[in-house]
Structure 1
């Protein structure tokens, strides 16, 4: 990971997952609100929204694509770190071993997602627990990964450490308060921030073009802090815009389309009128409860 590409690759995956979680969380939340608002039992179903650690892909809801992607990505990452950790025929780069360990925990989270998808009898919420474990181990490894680094190197990775801790906290809150959308949005926010900050670290420490930064210069380190605040402002603004656009989109959907999105594993029933689709959504939710 000690290169520009080594930061861009994990950053890309975090950005993609962050955007996916933002879209799916807003879609589910606004759809649930619309069903609740139109129901004669609106008070009962107002908190119908439920957090889940993963979302089903509408195009292939029978497969745990999120879990599969996590496993594939982490395996590729571990192979890459292992292959580049040798020098003169000996594995000498301990930093690569730490990165491989970090990848392993996210791969374990992907396996838990797959197991949960196929309803294997394991303790509940293991997908959430494994995600908290993965982010916690990532934070631990980054915190003790900075010995002998330059001041700017330590600074950018400590900021990343704080973001990863926030990811772990949000996932834990998401697991404990499944009817509250805020922890889910917080998780999406910090995962996206983690991805963009990985990119920023790559450009700061390993710039592919232009002049290298003076990693001991105080004024440039102040700029790094400023960049971090700009990342936060940009992501918050983009999430606000995305939420507004998704809200407007949900208002245009028919109840049949809402039914198909909220219940992707159930058979499609063809054209439904509004009352039929609404009743099916509410009945299926009551069965899950």
Structure 2
């Protein structure tokens, strides 16, 4: 990583992805279909439901991070200096990571627009992005202090856990546990990235940790355990808050919303009617479902 900016931008992206995936799964299991049915009484978001929101979000964040890494504080669009020596190695490794996730964003946009029904390929590109990130970070530790190395090793472990869970989803698309494990591991990856940036570059204070003190290494291993527990609490709070909000607005029967749509999840979810419809509402709902199937 090139500095605090790189750690902060990466951490924010992974945490945003985790929050988005949580929102997506809660909508898919709780929220009614939002579309162009003439009797839809909740939302009129015909355009939004067709947008590959996740792909656009990922592509925007990755390109912003890549460009930001290259221009933050000084211009770095060079691989070699006048003597042919590789320069800005940390910056270029980080930009390569951004490029890997940009490919995932492009794949997500593609399967949401031109190649519908090929959602599994988006997961393949996500696994590829995690593999690129983990490989780069594995060779990112030469000549660093003990604390710096240990904190980055923990990050590498979380990256490969994300890769493992994503590969599991590719082979077991109907499994309900693996997506939540991926969401959990991705959130920790982001929060720990922010933690690394704050410890190594201390942007909020002038205090610097002794990076060769073994007590500090032990202390931050405990902090990582707190990150793991905090991620579980944050995800549970998100789920409860989303469900309460959706019920408050009367969205209490299940059908996935296409704007947050995941083809694999849709096949594994069952439409469970939890409210009593009037004849007109039931007919409007059936018309909306049949129209979506024709599309």
TM-score range, shorter chain: 0.7 to 0.9
C-alpha change, 1:155 and 1:58, in structure 2 (3 Å) is farther
C-alpha change, 1:235 and 1:277, in structure 2 (3 Å) is farther
C-alpha change, 1:217 and 1:26, in structure 2 (3 Å) is same
Distance 2:97 2:259 in 1: 33
Q: Equivalent residues in 2 for 1:208-247 (5 A)?
A: 208=203, 209-247=205-243
Distance 2:214 2:134 in 1: 25
Aligned pair count reads 257
Give yes or no for contact 2:49–2:258 (8 Å, CA) kept in 1. Answer: no
Distance 2:179 2:121 in 1: 17
Distance 2:240 2:178 in 1: 19
- For the aligned residue pairs, the C-alpha RMSD in angstroms reads 3.2
1:95 Cα deviation from its structure 2 partner: 1.9
C-alpha change, 1:207 and 1:257, in structure 2 (3 Å) is same
1:112 Cα deviation from its structure 2 partner: 0.8
SS in 1 for 2:210: coil
1:223 Cα deviation from its structure 2 partner: 0.8
Give yes or no for contact 1:256–1:273 (8 Å, CA) kept in 2. Answer: no
1:165 to 142, 160, 166: 160
Q: Note if 1:84 corresponds to 2:57.
A: no
The higher relative CO (CA closer than 8 Å, separation ≥ 6) is in 2
Distance 1:61 1:67 in 2: 13
Which string of whole-angstrom CA distances, capped at 9 and with x for unpartnered residues, describes residues 247-282 of structure 1?
A: 3444455469855x62459xxxxx985534664577
Give yes or no for contact 2:104–2:125 (8 Å, CA) kept in 1. Answer: yes
C-alpha change, 1:67 and 1:262, in structure 2 (3 Å) is closer
Distance 1:112 1:79 in 2: 20
Q: Note if 1:7 corresponds to 2:15.
A: no
Q: Note if 1:73 corresponds to 2:65.
A: no
**Any unmatched runs of 5+ in structure 2?**
33-44, 261-277
Give yes or no for contact 2:51–2:259 (8 Å, CA) kept in 1. Answer: no
C-alpha change, 1:272 and 1:104, in structure 2 (3 Å) is farther
Distance 1:262 1:206 in 2: 42
Q: Equivalent residues in 2 for 1:95-244 (5 A)?
A: 95-120=90-115, 125-208=120-203, 209-244=205-240
**Any unmatched runs of 5+ in structure 1?**
33-56, 266-270
C-alpha change, 1:263 and 1:241, in structure 2 (3 Å) is same
1:176 Cα deviation from its structure 2 partner: 2.6
Structure 2 residue aligned with 1:20: 20
C-alpha change, 1:180 and 1:283, in structure 2 (3 Å) is farther
Q: Note if 1:275 corresponds to 2:282.
A: yes
